[in-house]
Structure formats: structure tokens, C-alpha cells
């Protein structure tokens, strides 16, 4: 029997400054992606082989940390010796029986320079030896109420391990775990709108929105060029991007007008949209919202090309995917946020009401993040696409995103 193809997704792990620290690498199997159809050894071996041989670890996680699930069989097999110590965290599954032999093995693995995480950890004093060997302790939020969570954190303060809250799905969850002293957070809380008070748009955001409107209207190049000339930093970023490896041209780009002619309105609008999510200062690649916006946009663009073979609609799909998080970015209802832009009715309907093909594909990208593969299989089937098609698109979008040097944008 031919082995099922294996795909790799990833879920971001955020630090206390809401910047991406690393990713949990997610094993995906096309035969039954929402079921455990292979044992942990096969699953982890598949992830390792794919990450190293077929794709390349750097292409999947860049310079960030990659968390990979391991069980007792994997730990004893030594297969992880193939992995670079500086980028990999071995995540010991909650199903592993922490015998004295396993604890000793983990201590030796730590001594060799590997980092260890304990998954879905439930505190027990008898576990002190393994807790002392761990670099990270992952605590699954739904397994605890707030009082028990506070008690666990108090018990673990005496150990050097960093605490990672898992399945953080709301801002309230994040803020509570932050107040308890958690170091890292996993879950899509950062993509959820949290409208407390209207957020004032920064001067940089206002400029980008003005530019996006102008591009949507396909104003004369001279009008668009004037916006860049009034904003030297934006001008500099565009020229740097155009002269980088991310944009392939034999010409040396020397002016905004030349950039406009080469990129065109739609591609420039995509670039402007992603700049909105990059944030000000620091490394744009560490922004979880930028990563989500970029991946949603690219996944929707590639899906639309497969379904319709219409490049114009595919451009709209990118905009819809990326802008599906604009309400979160601006901390305002999405209908209010979209009123700042000059978008087509099709994109507005997709984002506000989830209507039309684009609205359906926004839902697909959201369900991919939630790993709701039953929904995805049913929806994609209507377009004669499989979950495997989506996994390939997701992988390609991740690799493409990581290939852009953050210093270039």
C-alpha cells in the first residue's frame, strides 16, 4: 500500500510583546486530516522527513523556533538527532509515561543541547525531575478554571522553565494569562476583534489607506507618485522592496513611477495592504497579524485561481483574505474599517456578510486555522477540490512568506 502523503502546517507561538517567537509544526495527513490515522512515530518521522528533506526547515520557520511533538518511542529512537538543536523544541506529548528511564533520557537530551517542552502539563509534585529538565511547560487553558490555573503557575514559579499557555482564543484569556506571568501564548486570540474604544489611526496608517484608495480608483500615476513623494519613508520602502530578491527584475529600480509601471495597480495595492499589518518599527516578520493577513490573502488567491482561472478575481481574493483582519488591526467593527477603503462590493459582501465565492473562501481560511477539516472537505468538494489541494496551497504560501527577507520590506 502506498503511504499517504504528509503535509505540514504551523501555528504561531507569541511572546509577551505579541511578537512571533516560534511555531508548532502541525502534522497533516490527506487521507483523514481530522483523525489519528498513523501512530506518533510515523507522524513525527513524516514531519521530520518532510521538514528536512522535502521542504527544508528554514523554509518553514525561518529563524524562529519549531516545536515538534514526540512520544516515548521517538525519544528512544534518537531520530531527532537529524534536527538542528538551535531551532527545534521537542514537545513531549501528555501521553508519555514519565518513568525514571524517560526522565533520565530527557535530562541527557537537554545536556546534549536540545530544548524540551512538556505538552498539556498537569502539575504533580512527583513530576519535579522532568519539570526541572524542561525549557517550556505548555498548559492547555480549557483543561483548567482560573483558580486552578493560578495555583499551577504558583507551583511552577520555582522552576526555570518558561510557561506557555495553549488554546488562547480570546483577548481576555491572553490578558489573564499575561497577568499570571505566562511567557508565551499559542492560539488565534490576536486575530479576534476586541473593540473597547475607537482607535486613532496613526499617520503611517492614514497614508497607507489614502494610497490604497488611490490605487483602487486607478488614479493617474502622478497622483500616486505624489503620495509617495510626501512620505519619504514609504518611498524608500518601495524602492528597497523593488530592488530586493523578493521582486525579480533585471532592471535597477530608481523611481516610484518605474515601480508603478512594473508592479501595476493590483500588485502595489497588495503590498500596501500588507504594510498596514506590518506595524511600525521592529521586525515585520514577527507580527502575528501580518503573518495571518499574508497567508490568508495568498491562500485565497491560489484557491481562486484553481477554481476560476480568473487572475482579476484572484487579486480580489488576496485583498479579501488580507483585509479579513482589518477590523482587528484598527480595533473597530469591520464594516467601519472597510469604509476607509474604496473596495468593490464583492469584497465588502465577502468580509461583512461572508457572501459569494470570496466570502466562502474567507470561511475556509478561518476553518483551516481552527483545523475544522470536515467543513473544509464539504465546501471544497463543491469546487472539485480536495483537502490535499488546500494543504499544498498552505505549504506553498508558508514557504513563499518565509522567503521574503523582513529587512527588505
Q: Are the C-beta atoms of 39 and 79 separated by less than 8 Å?
A: no
- CATH code at position 107: 3.20.20.450
**For residue 9, what pLDDT band results from cuts at 50, 70 and 90?**
confident
Distance CA 225, CA 195 (A): 35
Per-residue pLDDT, 149: 94
Tell me whether residue 115 is in a domain: yes
Tell me whether residue 109 is in a domain: yes
Distance CA 161, CA 138 (A): 10
96-105, 174-183, 188-197, 345-354 — which is least confidently predicted?
A: 188-197
Residue 281 has pLDDT above 70, yes or no: no
Q: For residues 243 and 355, state if they share a domain.
A: yes
Residue 79 has pLDDT above 60, yes or no: yes
Per-residue pLDDT, 14: 96
Per-residue pLDDT, 246: 57
Q: For residues 119 and 187, state if they share a domain.
A: yes
Whole-Å CA distances, 345 to 315, 339, 350: 14, 11, 8
Of 191, 222, 256, the one marking the end of a domain is: 191
**Domains in the chain, number:** 2
Of the two residues 67 and 52, the one the predictor is more confident about is 67
Q: For residues 158 and 218, state if they share a domain.
A: no
Q: For residues 157 and 253, state if they share a domain.
A: no
Q: For residues 147 and 234, state if they share a domain.
A: no
Q: For residues 273 and 185, state if they share a domain.
A: no
Q: Per DSSP, what are the bridge partners of residue 90? A: 68, 116
**For residue 194, what pLDDT band results from cuts at 50, 70 and 90?**
low
- Residues contacting residue 112 through CB under 8 Å, at least 6 positions apart: 85
Q: pLDDT for 239-269, tens place per residue?
A: 777 766 556 566 777 777 888 888 888 888 9
Q: For residues 280 and 179, state if they share a domain.
A: no
Per-residue pLDDT, 279: 73
List, as one string, the DSSP characters of 151-193: HHHHHHTTS-PEEEEES--SHHHHHHHHHHT-SEEESSGGGS-
- Which of the listed ranges 194-203, 278-287, 390-399 does the model predict with the highest average pLDDT? 390-399
Q: For residues 265 and 403, state if they share a domain.
A: yes
Which structural domain, as residue segments, surrounds residue 108?
Answer: 6-191
Rounded to the nearest 10 degrees, the angle between the axes of helix 221-230 and helix 256-278 is: 60
Q: For residues 245 and 304, state if they share a domain.
A: yes
Per-residue pLDDT, 74: 83
- Residues contacting residue 62 through CB under 8 Å, at least 6 positions apart: 285, 402
Beta-sheet strands, E only, within 223-289:
none
Tell me whether residue 198 is in a domain: no
Per-residue pLDDT, 20: 95
Q: pLDDT averaged over the chain? A: 85
Tell me whether residue 15 is in a domain: yes
- CATH code at position 231: 1.10.3210.10
Per-residue pLDDT, 409: 42
Q: For residues 182 and 320, state if they share a domain.
A: no
**For residue 3, what pLDDT band results from cuts at 50, 70 and 90?**
very low
- Identify the H or E element spanning 34: none
Average of per-residue pLDDT across 27-40: 55
**For residue 181, what pLDDT band results from cuts at 50, 70 and 90?**
very high
**For residue 31, what pLDDT band results from cuts at 50, 70 and 90?**
low
Q: For residues 48 and 169, state if they share a domain.
A: yes
Average of per-residue pLDDT across 183-211: 79
Tell me whether residue 254 is in a domain: yes
Of the two residues 117 and 100, the one the predictor is more confident about is 117
**For residue 99, what pLDDT band results from cuts at 50, 70 and 90?**
confident
Average of per-residue pLDDT across 57-73: 89
Side-chain half-sphere exposure of 241, counting CA atoms within 13 A: 22
Per-residue pLDDT, 145: 92
Amino acid at each position: 500500500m502506498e503511504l499517504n502523503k504528509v503535509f505540514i502546517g504551523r501555528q504561531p507561538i507569541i511572546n509577551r510583546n505579541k511578537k512571533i517567537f516560534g511555531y508548532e509544526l502541525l502534522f497533516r495527513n490527506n487521507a483523514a486530516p481530522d483523525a489519528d490515522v498513523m501512530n506518533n512515530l510515523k507522524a513525527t518521522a513524516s514531519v521530520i522527513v518532510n521538514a528536512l528533506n522535502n521542504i527544508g526547515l528554514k523554509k518553514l520557520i525561518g529563524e524562529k523556533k519549531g516545536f515538534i511533538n514526540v512520544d516515548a518511542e521517538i525519544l528512544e529512537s534518537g531520530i531527532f538527532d537529524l534536527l538542528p538543536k538551535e531551532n527545534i523544541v521537542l514537545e513531549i506529548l501528555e501521553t508519555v509515561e514519565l518513568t525514571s528511564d524517560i526522565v533520565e533520557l530527557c535530562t541527557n537530551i537537554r545536556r546534549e543541547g536540545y530544548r524540551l517542552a512538556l505538552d498539556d502539563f498537569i502539575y504533580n509534585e512527583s513530576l519535579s525531575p522532568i519539570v526541572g529538565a524542561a525549557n517550556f511547560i505548555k498548559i492547555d487553558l480549557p483543561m483548567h478554571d482560573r483558580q486552578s490555573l493560578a495555583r499551577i503557575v504558583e507551583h511552577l514559579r520555582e522552576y526555570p522553565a518558561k510557561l506557555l499557555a495553549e488554546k488562547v482564543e480570546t483577548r481576555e484569556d491572553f490578558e489573564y494569562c499575561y497577568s499570571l506571568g505566562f511567557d508565551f501564548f499559542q492560539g488565534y486570540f490576536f486575530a479576534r476583534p476586541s473593540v473597547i474604544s475607537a482607535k486613532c489611526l496613526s499617520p503611517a496608517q492614514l497614508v497607507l489607506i489614502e494610497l490604497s484608495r488611490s490605487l483602487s480608483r486607478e488614479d493617474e500615476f502622478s497622483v500616486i507618485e505624489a503620495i509617495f513623494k510626501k512620505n519619504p519613508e514609504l518611498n524608500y520602502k518601495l524602492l528597497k522592496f523593488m530592488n530586493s530578491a523578493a521582486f525579480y527584475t533585471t532592471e535597477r529600480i530608481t523611481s516610484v513611477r518605474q515601480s508603478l509601471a512594473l508592479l501595476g495597480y493590483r500588485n502595489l495595492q497588495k503590498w500596501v495592504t500588507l504594510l498596514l499589518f506590518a506595524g511600525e518599527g521592529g521586525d515585520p516578520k514577527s507580527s502575528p497579524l501580518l503573518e495571518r493577513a499574508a497567508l490568508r490573502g495568498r491562500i485565497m488567491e491560489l484557491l481562486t485561481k484553481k477554481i476560476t482561472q480568473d487572475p482579476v478575481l484572484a487579486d480580489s481574493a488576496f485583498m479579501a483574505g488580507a483585509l479579513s483582519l482589518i477590523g482587528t488591526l484598527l480595533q473597530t467593527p469591520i464594516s467601519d474599517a472597510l469604509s476607509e477603503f474604496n473596495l468593490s462590493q464583492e469584497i465588502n459582501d465577502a468580509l461583512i456578510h461572508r457572501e459569494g465565492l470570496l466570502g466562502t473562501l474567507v470561511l475556509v481560511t478561518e476553518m483551516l486555522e481552527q483545523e475544522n477539516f470536515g467543513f473544509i472537505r464539504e465546501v471544497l468538494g463543491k469546487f472539485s477540490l480536495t483537502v490535499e489541494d488546500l494543504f499544498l496551497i498552505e505549504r506553498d504560501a508558508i514557504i513563499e512568506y518565509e522567503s521574503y527577507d523582513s529587512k527588505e520590506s
